[in-house]
Amino acid sequence: MDGLDAESLLRRLSVATSRLAGLDRLEARAARTVMLPDDLPAPLPQRLDLLGIKALYLHQAEALAHLRARRNVVVSTGSASGKSLCYQLPLIERILHDPLATALYLAPTKALARDQLRSLRAFRLPQVRAAAYDGDTPRGERDAIRRTANVILTNPDMLHLGLLPSHRRWGDFLHRLALVVIDECHVARGVFGTHIALILRRLRRICAHYSSEPLFVLASATIANPGGHATNLVGLDVAEVTDDGSPRPAVTLALWAPPLLDPVAGVRRSALAETADLLAGLVEHELATLAFVKSRKGAELVAGQARKLLAPIGLEPAVRAYRAGYLPEERRAVERGLIDGSLLGVSATDALELGVDVGRLDAVLIAGWPGTAASLWQQAGRAGRRDHEALVVFVAADDPLDHYLLTNPAQLWGRPVEAAVADITNPYVLGPHLRCAAWELPIHAGEFPSDQFPGASELIQRDVADGRLRERGGRVYWAGRGSPAAEVNIRSAGAPFSIVEAETGMLVGDVDQARAFRTVHPGAIYLHQGETYRVRGLDLDRRAALVDPYLGDEYTRPRVDTDITVLEVVDTAPGWGQCQMARGRVEVTTQVLAYERRRLLTDEPLELVPLDLPPLRLVTQALWIVVPRAVRDAAGLDRSRLPGALHAAEHAAIGLLPLFAMCDRWDIGGVSTPWHPDTGDASIFIYDGYPGGAGISERGYHTAQALFRATRDTVLACPCATGCPSCVQSPKCGNGNEPLDKGGSVSLLRAVLRERD
């Protein structure tokens, strides 16, 4: 990008300059370094020199000092800041000093672990016998790795399912375990983070059994609470390193607004189409570009459209897609192509967000809000490595949050990064891990004290009464025949439903229990990796959906009835006048009653088909606001307009909540009603879509004033007449986005906020 005017280029790529909604710039930052320690063991200094490392950035030196002093540490700095060396250096130093020492590296994805394996092997030190151990490792090689490797690179899934249940086979490795590395620990948040925190406590428990006490070093994107989050994950005090000493190139930051195709209805050109055009244009100018999109299908569509646009000038082969679901060799080919320059454009899901080395990139396109400010900067940081100026373009999707950010760019580029949350007291996660712990080693009385694990004793006694656990001689044992770890899906809530092709028996994929009735009900049209299927039937006992390939031109949309019951009021917030803001424990009952068949291209309704599916019950956490009649009257809302106003405000608030909590709108749900029996008045509920909760609604409760202000401003600023996907329509609404009253929602939110002011 050196010498290139980013604004002029973007305007040349835009058919209408109104697409370019804003520009900002981050100036370059110089590196701050210190000399390499003069006491590094041989031949480490020579190996560092061969890799071009002449000095350490300040944060690398600080992390090394903490670990040498036997302090656990978390390093929270930007993309491409050299976080890998923060754990590679002490890991290698320890093994060179103590040839018997071992280390364990955990990454959220197999691709990242394999990338770090290549990085460790680049040191060419025979003393470091590193190996990847995950689901892709051939079974014939696993025994040899366990016997000979002193550095194991794996993921939390394999630690949970493979190493801990089989710890007796790993006893020698665990006895000598000196260092545990947890990479990209900001990903371990919400329910997934709770699983990780409990797996790490199980690891520490097993290590203590084998008389080892490893140090922990964690690496994270920039988050608001790295030390607190790391401490919560590992259950030990963790020092934090946040002063980033790495250099940063100058960065041009651009906002891109897809044009309105129908101003009255609020219909815009899709963010994917705009991203494909931008990707093709940047590749045509020979700028290495990475486009981040939210879905596997989106990655394929963007890459495919960009290739079509580039075909006339012979650059079609220079663009590829990258996503989960590819074979490992396919992903490696894309990574190599970006590094060696044979690929100039890649459309990727967040599978490429997490630190896999893809060399220098000139530009990054971000199609829609990625969920958190931490992810935004992780993705943006992929451009401009190695001192080249960077271009980052945020392409707004048709979503309330994205269009709020377009009109409030300081909330995009200038907003503080979020805090990561993981709740180890969630009984729906803690209970299954206690069973896993009992299989691994008998649980002693008082081993899970109530001050650290609230409710653990009650959960253990309940499982003893139910026969899952048995108590003998003051110890508690697992009562089943095999490890219960296989029953615990750490990446979703509840056991998943398998999706199976009916004729061949081929496993197509799986879907979370919470989404199964909505997405793979009988008759549903289901998309998977670019292929379309119709669901033949749903076997509830076997938890399997049988599907057939489908070539038609329609899609389906479920109709869902949702009820919510308040089980416990945990807290109420002062300062809301006649309104009441509260949070607590709720039970959500959802039932998929029917589905609509619609034409794919015209959205023409074809048929409403009834379904006979059982209700699903979810006990979780929620926030809610109660709006009494006096406030509704002040808003000018009569009985006929109130349901649509509440419903529209609920949708818009759910769309904006990811701005304030580390979540996706699909992680949360909502209910609005003109009268609720538990509150006695008109109410809006927003709840966590996970058993026991994930801390999302609690974060919304504590930031409710800012959330409702942003919601009001976004709906008010949207140019559509009656409501659109950019303001009050929701892609997940179980009632077909009916009724909705855009103007009524603005009046309602204004009246509520006047009570708060």
What distance in Å separates the CA atoms of residue 678 and residue 694, rounded to the nearest whole number?
A: 23
Q: What is the pLDDT of residue 493?
A: 56
In a shared domain, residues 43 and 168: yes
Lowest mean pLDDT among 152-166, 311-325, 346-360: 346-360
Instruction: Give pLDDT, residue 660.
Output: 83
pLDDT digits (tens, 9 = 90+) for 43-75: 999 999 999 999 999 999 999 999 999 999 999
Task: Tell me how many domains the chain contains.
Answer: 5
Bridge partners of 622?
A: 584, 687
Confirm whether 315 is domain-assigned. yes
Question: What is the model's pLDDT at position 510?
Answer: 79
Q: Which of 161, 105, 160, 152 is nearest to 129 (CA)?
A: 152
DSSP state of 185: G
Same domain, 506 and 483: no
For the stretch 495-508, pLDDT in tens is: 678 899 999 988 88
224 & 337 share domain: no
Residue 679: which domain range?
A: 559-756
Residue 450 pLDDT grade (very low, low, confident, very high; cuts 50, 70, 90): confident
Q: How would you list the strands of the sheet with 443-444, edge to edge?
A: 443-444, 475-478, 469-472
Q: Do the domain assignments include residue 418?
A: no
Question: Does 28 map to a domain?
Answer: no
For residue 68, give both structure tokens. Answer: 């040498």
pLDDT 10s digits, 681-714 = 999 999 998 888 888 899 899 999 999 999 999 9
When pLDDT is cut at 50, 70 and 90, the band that residue 31 belongs to is very high
Taking residue 647's Cβ as centre, other Cβ atoms within 10 Å add up to 28
Of 487, 506, 524, the last residue of a domain is 487
Residue at 227 is within a domain: yes
pLDDT of residue 730: 87
Please tell me whether residues 191 and 224 are part of one structural domain.
yes
**Residue 211 sits in the same domain as residue 360:** no
Give the per-residue pLDDT at 269: 86
Domain check: are 703 and 741 in the same one?
Answer: yes
What string of DSSP letters covers 282-296? HHHTT--EEEE-SSH
- The domain that holds 215 is classified in CATH as 3.40.50.300
Residue 20 is predicted with a pLDDT of 85
Distance CA 230, CA 598 (A): 47
- On whether both 610 and 728 belong to a single domain, the answer is yes
On whether both 372 and 433 belong to a single domain, the answer is: no
Tell me the pLDDT tens digit for each residue of 167-198: 999 999 999 999 999 999 988 988 889 999 99
Give the bridge partners for 291, in sequence order: 347, 365
The pLDDT assigned to 575 comes to 94
What pLDDT is recorded for position 260? 80
Concatenate the DSSP letters of all residues of 582-612 into one string.
EEEEEEEEEEEEEEEEEETTT--EEEEEE--
User: Considering the domain boundaries, does residue 171 fall inside one?
Assistant: yes
pLDDT higher than threshold 90 for residue 199: yes
The answer to which of 17-21, 136-140, 369-373 has the lowest mean pLDDT is 17-21
Q: Which of 13-17, 322-326, 659-663 has the lowest mean pLDDT?
A: 13-17
> Within a 10 A sphere around the Cβ of 315, how many other Cβ atoms?
18
Supply the mean pLDDT for the chain.
Answer: 90
Instruction: Say yes or no: 608 and 528 in one domain.
Output: no
What CATH number is given to the structural domain containing 467? 1.10.10
> Is the domain of 462 the same as that of 586?
no
Instruction: Over range 26-34, report the average pLDDT.
Output: 93
Distance between CA atoms of 473 and 465, rounded to whole angstroms? 16
Of all residues in the chain, the percent with pLDDT exceeding 90 is 62
In a domain, 14, yes or no: no
Is 9 among the domain residues?
no
Instruction: Assess if residue 17 is contained within a domain.
Output: no
CA distance to 639, 650, 674, 742, per residue, from 643 (Å): 8, 11, 6, 11
**Using 50, 70 and 90 to split pLDDT, how confident is the model at 732?**
confident
Last residue of a domain, one of 355, 385, 413: 413
Token digits of residue 168: 């007796």
| 738: Cα separation from own chain's centroid | 30
**Who's near 161: CB < 8 A, 6+ residues apart?**
485, 486
Query: Which among 442, 469, 487 is the end of a domain?
Result: 487
Measured distance CA(670)–CA(228) in Å, rounded: 30
Residues 277 and 310 in one domain: yes
530 and 607 share one domain: no
In this structure, the number of other CB atoms found within 10 A of the CB of residue 49 comes to 12
